[in-house]
Amino acid sequence: MRSRLLRTVTASALTVSLAVAAAFPAAAAATPSAAWSGTEARRAQLQQLARKLVDAGAPGVIVRVDDGRGRPVEIAEQATWTRRDHLLKVGDEFRMGSNTKTMMATLVLQLVAEGKLALTDPVERWLPGKVPNGKAITLRMLLNHTSGLFDYTEDAAVRPSILGKDRRRWTPAELLAVGVKHDPLSAPGTEWSYSNTGYAAIGAVLERVTGRSLADLVRDRIARPLGLNHTYFATDSTWRGPHAHGYELDAAHMPPSVPAEFRHFAGARRNGHVDVSGNAPGWGGAAGAVVSTTQDWARFSTALTSGKLLPAAQLAQMRTTVPVDPRQPDGPGYGLGIQTGPTPCGTFWGHDGGMPGYLTTSVTDRTGSRTATVLISTEFWSEFGGAPKIAKAAQALQSAVICTMFGKPVPAAAHAG
């Protein structure tokens, strides 16, 4: 089994849906309490779960939930020892990790609507000679992870950047070259396999077709039109506004399950942790380099799923999914830069993202009228395991957040978490 750290731009595409499903044994039997109808009561429930997650070892947690019926619930909780670095606020910027893929897919589909690209285009057309068997790999396959390409984050050349020791500015072409020097994992279009290399190729195609950088495309086609003042494609470690600090355990405190080559992060030492928020995220590229806030991302999610950013035909293409697990054709699915999954409280659309110091889950309903985001300011626990208390508390919070977004009672299992 491949380690999730070796796909570190993303938390697994199954994370949200499986975590929610696992946390729901009592959901069907849960009944609304007398206080359920009040926003403050819902906020108190979620704040308690966020606090439990911090008590379990998470340095910080941000939650924003909008059920479309009134004022959003916004929560920020942090460990006492982190206050010397910053006071965590709901509006802080943070690294979105693989949520970036949703924006990249949006950019591609905008160009499809303009007649400048087609989902059936072979990658060879736009990147001649850059991708082996490129005539058989379409843009659609790159976007929905059926290209079969090896994941560049598994290559040792990228590891120093992941750990914050190499601050080079990776280009999409460079990241793509790292991935394609390995043999493919499967024939194009035959099976689903998460590949950040596919999105490195997408980034290179976007730059080739438009003649512009990914940072400019995100700014001019998405951030500025929507008024997203704290959303941008990061090429270095610079933050543009107040930001959440992200932490990972230092080498002495990491669980034994973490291999030696992944135990040493660059950054200032804090209370058995390393502050990794000054490390450059550029190695994430088109697969994971976007920075945003909970408010900005909610606005983006609403605009996208309500049809403001894409015509109906392209939005339908984005939502055309393939099963993440072929044994569960009606289970979690992956579309074009977006994932979906059923839960007892409703079917979500969205993505998740993992980058050292930042683990995010961002979801919405099909109409975009309901949105939710959870940030946990540490990510390594989700890669090699070894932090069962954090995992249990995170699962409980994510489950409760999704139910709150759908206007449903928080399941009894989440309260028990």
According to DSSP, the residues that pair with 322 across neighbouring strands are: 334
Mark whether 382 is an active-site residue: no
Calpha distance 386→406 (Å, rounded): 32
The answer to whether the CB of 411 falls within 8 A of the CB of 67 is no
User: Cβ–Cβ contacts within 10 Å for residue 135, how many?
Assistant: 13
Distances (CA, A) of 362 to 180, 220, 301, 349, 404: 30, 23, 9, 8, 14
Calpha distance 39→75 (Å, rounded): 12
Determine the 3-state secondary structure of 346 from DSSP.
strand
Q: Catalytic: which of 3, 12, 33, 98?
A: 98
Calpha distance 375→356 (Å, rounded): 12
What's CA 198's distance to the chain center, in Å? 16
Residue 371 dihedral angles phi and psi, to the nearest 5°: -140, 155
Helices 388-405 & 39-55, crossing angle to 10 degrees?
170
Compute the C-alpha angle 165/244/392, nearest 5°.
Answer: 90
The answer to whether the CB of 143 falls within 8 A of the CB of 198 is yes
Calpha distance 233→215 (Å, rounded): 5
Calpha distance 283→41 (Å, rounded): 41
Q: Quickly list DSSP for 265-295.
A: --SEEETTEEE-TTS--GGGHHHH-EEE-HH
The answer to whether the CB of 54 falls within 8 A of the CB of 71 is no
- Burial class from Cβ neighbours inside 10 Å (0-12, 13-18, 19+) for residue 227 reads exposed
Of 287, 282, 265, the residue nearest 357 (C-alpha) = 265
Place of tokens 């979500």: 348
**Which residues make Cβ contacts (< 8 Å) with residue 212, sequence separation at least 6?**
220
The residues carrying an active-site annotation are 98
